[in-house]
Amino acid sequence: MAARPTLGTGNKGFTLVEVLVVVAIAGILVALAAVNLFPSNAQIARREVGEVALAVEHARDNAWFGGRPTAVTFSDGRLREWRHAGRTWEPEAGRDRPLEARVTALFIDGTALPASERLVFLPDGLGVPFSVAIEARGLGFAIEGDTAGAVTMVER
């Protein structure tokens, strides 16, 4: 008597179509991840300038909520925050860090000042318009502040 094939027997493995589908899905996932893992120079520059804008906002907030003038300086490749203590300025502990971007100009109320000059924030909440011109990775940006105390980052 001849043996009959039973159900469940046959070749075990993947077909070429199944393998190609898996490889295609893996390729799409790698392409999507590479965009986030390897940011462009423009994205890195925006992040660097955004960190400077946050430091400026921090100094402004310290003045408003701390009740005494604070300032930031951009000199010697560093961003420093200062607080006014009586008759002198003292560096704010833990608020001194390397400056990735290069400050090219500082304007306070339309007047150009040396980039190393202090950008001062008063505790009354009233601000003086300012603009800090910054170059990061060959791209131009500005951090601008208005009389209401709003700080914005502008790409040039």
Tokens of 69: 């003038």
- What is the pTM assigned to this prediction? 0.76
Predicted local distance difference test score (pLDDT) of residue 19: 94
The strand ranges marked E within the chain are 70-75, 78-85, 88-98, 102-108, 111-113, 119-121, 130-136, 139-145, 151-155
Domains of the chain in sequence order: 41-155 (3.55.40.10)
Q: 87-99 pLDDT, tens per residue?
A: 899 999 899 999 9
Q: What is the pLDDT of residues 43-86, one digit of tens each?
A: 899 999 999 999 999 999 999 999 999 999 998 889 999 999 88
Amino acid 130: pLDDT: 95
User: Quick one: which of 101, 100, 119, 99 has its CA closest to 109?
Assistant: 119
Task: Give the pLDDT score at 89.
Answer: 94
d(CA 156, CA 35): 24
β-bridge mates for residue 121, sequence order: 70
Count CA within 13 A, CB hemisphere, residue 10: 5
